[in-house]
Amino acid sequence: MSAIRLENLVKRFGSFTALKPTNLAIGDGEFMALLGPSGCGKSTTMNMIAGMEEPSEGRILFGERDMAGVPMGRRGVGFVFQNYAIFTHMSVRRNLDYGLRMSGRPAAEVRRRTEAMADLLGLGDLLDRPTAGLSVNILQRIAIGRSAIMEPAIFLLDEPLSNVDAAFRAVMRTELKSLQRQFRQTMVYVTHDQLEAMTMADRIAVMDHGVLQQVGTPLEVYNAPANTFVARFIGSPGMNLCAGRLAQTDRGLAVDLGALGLTPPLPPALAAAARNGRSEVIYGFRPEAVHPDPAGLRLPLIVAERIGARTILHLGRGGDTVRAVFQGNPDLPADEIALAPDPAAVRLFDAATGAAIAEA
């Protein structure tokens, strides 16, 4: 009933294609994050699900029901805008009960449900206050409550935490997630912050320039990025991606990274898949997945960021940089660091297409 399916969905604005043909299935009760940089098409997609924009091509189905022609007031979706769109000329109560009043519910029922929702969100004391001048955190709760009170099967949120102060963001993340668990709604959550997506979502749809790059669980997109974009976008800092040539050494197939040196030998399965008529590849590894190794890459230290719990090293030579992240505050040699990526963490990508090279 509240599963969403996008079939060959396309959106054009004049000559500009905001969303290229996209297929996506969101399960009933699933928390799906649409993640990507500005302009990637995530908000456009969500606007079409809500009914605020019409698809240029393709279909949107809720369950088995095609939503073409269904106006946005009748789709049974809740929507939280980035700037909350609170009715600033009305009190908190009038905001919360707006949907119920517009659908003509009896006054007693409206009152009861409004007060229940207000209690749930900690807004009980503020019910009859005007909304003007309230803090952003409270406004966000009103925005959520205003939609949630209608008990929609599908909840759409457009970057709801981008206006919230950083300290409060973590609190709101857990609240949103528990709300979703409690009400079992299907939630579609648009964000450009990969940390938000990683911590909250059941699955993440990574998008860039109107194209879906990868759909998977947080762990999947983290550990098995489908292409260089996802590899770089996920993780903070993102995966190191270095261009290189395959080079046969006496210990196995390795990658010559030019100025950065020669990598340790690739694991056999990866080496077998890599060869496939290629000579150039992109060698990737996450900054966290490295260990000191005298036989590995020897790289000059450019700068070390010590931020307390972690230390981020920027290493490189000749214009190419590589990042490494170590826990805590280790002592470091002044000039050169020798390290090697953990073998299981090495990823290869096709130099031409950027697609991941899967193990044979």
Instruction: Tell me 91's DSSP state.
Output: B
52 is a site residue for other proteins (CB under 8 A) = yes
- Each residue 108-147 as x (binds other proteins by CB under 8 A) or -, in order, gives --------------------------------------xx
Q: Rounded to whole angstroms, how far apart are CA atoms 137 and 273?
A: 50
Q: What angle do CA 268, 273, 276 make, to 5 degrees?
A: 130
Please pick, from the candidates 21, 81, 177, 325, the single residue that binds other proteins as defined by CB under 8 A.
81
Single out the segment in contact with other proteins by CB under 8 A; choices: 85-93, 223-231, 244-252, 338-346.
85-93
The pair of three-digit structure tokens given for residue 59, joined into one six-digit string:
């279909």
* Minimum CB distance to other proteins, residue 119 (Å): 21
Minimal distance in Å, beta carbon 72 to other proteins?
A: 6
Residue 296 found at the interface with other proteins (CB under 8 A): no
Closest CB to other proteins among residues 90, 304: 90
Counting contacts by CB under 8 A, is residue 103 touching other proteins? yes
Q: Which stretch binds other proteins (CB under 8 A): 66-74, 161-169, 268-276, 351-359?
A: 66-74
Shortest distance (Å) from residue 69 CB to other proteins: 10
Half-sphere exposure of 99 (CA within 13 A, CB side): 21
Nearer to other proteins, 96 or 172 (CB): 96
160 binds other proteins (CB under 8 A): no
CB of 179 to other proteins, least distance (A): 18
Sheet of 154-158: strands edge to edge?
77-80, 154-158, 186-191, 31-35, 203-208, 211-216
Nearest distance, CB of residue 118 and other proteins, angstroms: 17
DSSP class of residue 264 equals P
Choose between 123 and 289: whose C-beta lies nearer to other proteins. 123
Helix axes 107-120, 136-148, angle to 10 degrees: 130
Question: Among residues 60, 77, 205, 322, which is the contact residue for other proteins, using CB under 8 A?
Answer: 77
- Which of residues 55 and 244 has its CB atom nearest to other proteins in the complex? 55
CB distance 81 to 33 below 8 Å: no
**Residue 135 three-state SS:** coil
CB of 181 to other proteins, least distance (A): 23
Residues 21-50 that bind other proteins (CB under 8 A): 50
Three-class secondary structure of residue 92 per DSSP: helix
Residue 192: CB atoms within 10 A of its CB come to 18
- Count of chain residues binding other proteins (CB under 8 A): 25
Q: How far apart are CA 22 and CA 24, in angstroms?
A: 7
Helices (H), 211-326: 218-223, 228-233, 268-275
User: Are the beta carbons of 27 and 186 closer than 8 angstroms?
Assistant: yes
Q: Is the peptide bond before 264 cis (omega within 30 degrees of 0)?
A: no
| Residues near other proteins, by CB under 8 A | 50-52, 54, 71-74, 77-79, 81, 83, 85-89, 98-99, 102-103, 146-147, 150
